[in-house]
Amino acid sequence: MLLAFFISKPLINSITSPEGRLEFKEWISSLGFVGKLIVIGLMALQLILAVIPGGPVQIVTGITYGVVEGTILCELGIILGSTIVFFTVRKLGRKFIYLFIKEEDIEKISFLQDEQKLNLISFVLMVIPGAPKDALTYFLGLTKMKYYVFIMISVIGRLPALIMSTMTGSSVLEGNWITALIIAISVGFV
């Protein structure tokens, strides 16, 4: 966490001025396709590690690429990360999950073993801001849920929060701090 703070502090300082926001956007844009791959990779990594919050990555993506392109890039990262987690858990099982997620957290969502309710409850949990989506991703790999159902729930369920996060970033780029704060509070980032 300290490392993340010291790395992100210059970024936060740089985006507090209109010039700094423009410089940051130009720097990321100058990376071209590589910048987009970095965003996708960061989104996948934060999902795989499950302890890294996705909100800051999504907000920076909104600053850099705007709402539409930023949301698409974040979704691609979620598809990549979710796929890796899903099939890794299918292959390695419950003991593997305990390396990343506390056993107590998994037990809290063990009620999802009821296959009749699994899809609906999983989707609702993916939509709710602040729900442990990354932990749920690990857990769903242990269920009998089919991959295509899992990925649809993951992509569609996370979409509202992704849109709001990239909107927050886009508002920051434009200097609309009040709009950014209202959006962030409404989705539980603050």
CB 40 within 8 A of CB 77: yes
Residue 26 has pLDDT above 70, yes or no: yes
Which one-letter amino acid corresponds to residue 64? T
Tokens of 5: 């703070």
Query: What does the pLDDT read at residue 83?
Result: 96
pTM of the predicted structure, to 2 decimals:
0.76
Residue pLDDT, tens place only, 84-114: 999 998 888 777 777 767 777 767 666 666 7
Q: Which of 22-26, 37-41, 52-56 has the highest mean pLDDT?
A: 37-41
Cα angle, residue 40 at apex, residues 39 and 44 outer, rounded to 5°: 115
Query: What does the pLDDT read at residue 1?
Result: 45
What mean pLDDT, rounded, does the chain reach? 79
CB neighbours of residue 107 within 10 Å: 10
SS3 string of the chain? CHHHHHHHHHHHHHCCCHHHHHHHHHHHHHCCHHHHHHHHHHHHHHHHHCCCCCHHHHHHHHHHHHHHHHHHHHHHHHHHHHHHHHHHHHHHCHHHHCCCCCHHHHHHCHHHHCHHHHHHHHHHHHHCCCCCHHHHHHHHCCCCCCHHHHHHHHHHHHHHHHHHHHHHHHHHHCCCHHHHHHHHHHCCCC
What crossing angle do the helices spanning 147-173 and 177-186 adopt, rounded to 10°? 150
Residue pLDDT, tens place only, 149-190: 999 999 999 998 888 888 887 777 666 767 777 776 666 544
Query: What does the pLDDT read at residue 111?
Result: 61
Cα angle, residue 141 at apex, residues 136 and 147 outer, rounded to 5°: 110
Query: What does the pLDDT read at residue 72?
Result: 95
Chain centre to alpha carbon of residue 168: 14
Closest CA to 127 of 43, 48, 188: 188
Residue 6 has pLDDT above 60, yes or no: no
What crossing angle do the helices spanning 18-30 and 147-173 adopt, rounded to 10°? 140
- The burial of 122, by beta-carbon neighbours within 10 Å (0-12 exposed, 13-18 middle, 19 or more buried), is given as buried
